[in-house]
Structure 1
Amino acid sequence: MKKFIMAMAAALMVFSFTSCGSKKADGKVWIIATDTVFRPFEYTNEKNEFVGIDVDILAAVAEDQGFKYDLQSLGWDAGVAAVQVGQADALIAGATIKQSRIDSGWIFSDGYYLATQTFVVAADSSISKFEDLKGKNVAVKNGTAGADFANSLKDKYGFTVTVFEDSPTMYQDVILGNSAACCEDTPIMADNIKSAGLALKIPAGMESEGAPYGFAIMNEDRRELLDMFNKGLENIRANGKYQAILDKYLK
């Protein structure tokens, strides 16, 4: 019930736009949820445009497959809840493909980006390995692969975990010294440190093995959309558009 209320509230503040394809003429508009700030995958630029790798991949796939969509920037928790209760058809928000999500009803596309998770510390921190976290606290973002990675190590290395609802608040908790580290997807963290000038750093050797991001539905009735995403992804990989999108944001 809490997540449903969050989704409803977020919908009142939604940043969204509709993109039109050219091949299908049935008038169907797919509602696709995403996060608010998960740079470089989705964020608002200096021109107040909603941009990012996820945003551009979805646009390229929709153009290739000729479908219309309404991309709604709800935030992670509210976006997941919206898809779960049928207020949105799918989610694209740097969602890691993992078995626990599949077991709970998520239906993923083919992976579209392979990401690792990494621990991040304050710029002046002496922490350089997992053992240095003993007796300290690590900040994580709710429901993410970074949270899973931190939780998988906390007992072994003797640290505690505090959960936050969004990445910027999590980063500030480390910068302010309340937490010794946070755990986030590596490309997101590297981009935020560079673009926002955050007083944080990524120690070498404190990352996971990595897992792919996927476009997700949670109802078999939306299988048509998932199939179109997979086909469009295959096509934009082949024609070079996919690599051009990655180069645009990561180079």
Structure 2
Amino acid sequence: MYKMKRLLFLLGTIGLLSLILVGCSNSNSDAGTSGGREKVSVAALNNYPPLIFKQDGKLTGFEYDLLQAIAEEENLELEFKEMKFDGFIPGLQSNQVDIASSLLIREERKEVVDFSDIFLNSGLVLAVANNSSIQSFEDLKGKTIVATQGSTTFEKAKELADQYGGKAKPLKETDALYLDVENGNADALVLNSPTVEYRLAVDGDNVKFRIVGEHMTVDEHAFAVKKGNKELADKINAGLKTVKENGEYNKIHEKWFGK
């Protein structure tokens, strides 16, 4: 009788241990996922309206909404990491982030990162204060042109400065570009057309800036991943294709840019 009780006790203990081990195993197998979703980190600016920016303490914007729609289609969970623009590509290369937003396709960038399919076309523009004497690019002689450090906007600012006898000045924050011109510390700024046009629309009757001349470039926006990460690039492209086909892309575009 004693041996029978001891045997039943040992069997019960073994069963309990098995349940605990199974629970631990299931818990470990969920690492790196959330409800079956693959976790992906995104390098993001917080001051680049209407593409991606912070409003009421939360990120929003065209790129933010588009990435969320792509993630929904591809079963991804996005974690946005706010970074300076010049840290985006190093962040991809060092595996700090998986995706970089707000990048324009450039041949030199193709050498160090892989791009998704194009999701938006735009161009760089020159903007000045409303009361500025600058009416054309020729008026940039002796003027200071600000643009975002480490971006194609600063390359264009340097090009304009060299061509017309001005000075190019890099700043890290998009908001700082407007403030620099508004405060008289710079005479003009170079930014992507959707950003400037959105600023003019938001300012309404109190608009403080105007665009000089035509678009200086024809630019293509895409998301970037670490060189060789074909799996993630393919998922972004598949999701982008789906949201374009089902009409979600058009809804997001109309929300931020109008019809």
TM-score range, shorter chain: 0.7 to 0.9
Scaled by the length of structure 2, the TM-score of the pair is 0.81
Residue 249 of structure 2 corresponds to 242
Aligned: 1:208 with 2:216: yes
Aligned: 1:149 with 2:156: yes
Identity %: 25
The aligned amino acid for 1:73 is E
Aligned length: 224
Instruction: Report the CA distance between 1:198 and its aligned residue.
Output: 5.3
Structure 1 unmatched runs, 5+: 1-19
Instruction: Report the CA distance between 1:188 and its aligned residue.
Output: 0.3
Scaled by the length of structure 1, the TM-score of the pair is 0.83
Residue 29 of structure 1 corresponds to 39
Matches within 5 A, 1:213-228: 213-220=221-228, 222-228=229-235
| Pair member with larger Rg | 2
Structure 2 unmatched runs, 5+: 1-32
Select the structure that is richer in helix: 2
Aligned: 1:43 with 2:53: yes
Matches within 5 A, 1:55-204: 55-92=64-101, 94-103=102-111, 105-196=112-203, 197=206, 199-204=208-213
C-alpha contact (below 8 Å) 1:61/1:232 kept by paired residues: yes
SS in 1 for 2:104: coil
Instruction: Report the CA distance between 1:239 and its aligned residue.
Output: 1.2
Tell me whether 125-134 or 145-154 shows the greater mean CA deviation. 145-154
Cα RMSD (Å) of the superposition?
1.9
Select the structure that is richer in strand: 2
The aligned amino acid for 1:153 is L
SS in 1 for 2:90: helix
Rounded Cα–Cα distance in structure 2 between residues aligned with 1:165 and 1:216: 20
The aligned amino acid for 1:163 is P
C-alpha contact (below 8 Å) 1:140/1:183 kept by paired residues: yes
Residue 5 of structure 2 corresponds to none
C-alpha contact (below 8 Å) 2:40/2:98 kept by paired residues: yes
Residue 8 of structure 1 corresponds to none
Rounded Cα–Cα distance in structure 2 between residues aligned with 1:77 and 1:140: 12
Instruction: Report the CA distance between 1:45 and its aligned residue.
Output: 2.0
